[in-house]
Structure 1
Amino acid sequence: MNNKQTRVEKDSMGEIEVPADALYGAQTQRAVNNFPISGSMLPRPVIRALGLIKHACATTNHHLALLDEARTVAITLASAAVAEGRYDDQFPIDVF
C-alpha cells in the first residue's frame, strides 16, 4: 500500500490492510487487489443510480414503518452524498 496510512480489517479470509480513510472494508479491498482487470471503474451514472435507489428504499421503508427515523435520516443523507458524487472514490472495484 505504498506510503499511505492503512488500517487492518478482518473478514472470513483473515486480515488485510485497507486505506485508513476508506469507507469500505476487507472484501472490497480483496476485490481491488485480486481483480485489477481493466482499470475501468464504475461509471458516475451508475454510482449516482446506486445512491438514488438507496435513498428511495430508505424513504419507502420509513413510510412503511420498517425503518426508524434516525436510520432513515442517516441513510438518506449518506445516499444523497453518494448520488451527488461526494464518495466516488469509495467505489474502487474494477467493473470487469
Structure 2
Amino acid sequence: MSRIETDSLGPVEVPDEAYWGAQTQRSLINFAIGRQRMPLAVLHALVLIKKAAARVNDRNGDLPAEIARLIEQAADEVLGGEHDEQFPLVVWQTGSGTQSNMNANEVIA
C-alpha cells in the first residue's frame, strides 16, 4: 500500500510504512545509482545536529517547548537505531547532501 505525498514538484507515491516523505521518495527515484547507502554514522551525526538546534531554539524562545521536545524525542529514537530502515538513500546524491538532510527532516517530523 502507499500514500500520496506532495511537495513543490507535485504529488508522489510513498510506501505507507515509510516515515519519509516526497523529497526522499523523489531522491530514491532520481538517484537509483548503486546500492551504497549513506553511512548511518553520517546520518546520526546530522540528526544530532538537528537535536541540538531544537534545544538551542527552545532555550532562545524561537521554538515552542513542546515542538522542541518532540524533535528531541524523535532524534533520540533515530540515534538509538530504532529507525535505521527509514534512511534508504544512497551516497550518490547531489554534492550538497540536500537529499539526506531532507530525509532526516521527514523522518524526524
Measured against the shorter chain, the TM-score band is 0.7 to 0.9
Match of 2:21 in 1: 25
Match of 1:35 in 2: 31
> Distance in 2 between the 1:15 and 1:61 partners?
32
> Deviation of residue 13 (structure 1)?
2.7
- Which of 10, 13, 21 lines up with 1:14 in the alignment? 10
> Deviation of residue 58 (structure 1)?
0.9
Deviations 1:8-43 (A, max 9, x none): 122233322110011111121111012111211111
> Deviation of residue 67 (structure 1)?
1.4
> Deviation of residue 44 (structure 1)?
1.4
The one-letter amino acid of 1:25's match is G
Confirm or deny that 1:48 pairs with 2:44: yes
Confirm or deny that 1:88 pairs with 2:81: no
Judged with a 3 Å threshold, the aligned counterparts in structure 2 of structure 1 residues 64 and 12 are, in CA distance, closer, same or farther, namely: closer
Paired residues, number: 92
> Deviation of residue 77 (structure 1)?
0.2
| TM-score (normalizing by structure 1) | 0.85
Name structure 1 gaps, 5 residues minimum: none
Identity %: 41
> Distance in 1 between the 2:43 and 2:23 partners?
18
| TM-score (normalizing by structure 2) | 0.76
Judged with a 3 Å threshold, the aligned counterparts in structure 2 of structure 1 residues 67 and 12 are, in CA distance, closer, same or farther, namely: closer
The one-letter amino acid of 2:77's match is A
Runs of 4 or more above 6 Å deviation: none
Name structure 2 gaps, 5 residues minimum: 93-109
Match of 2:97 in 1: none
Alignment RMSD (CA, Å): 1.3
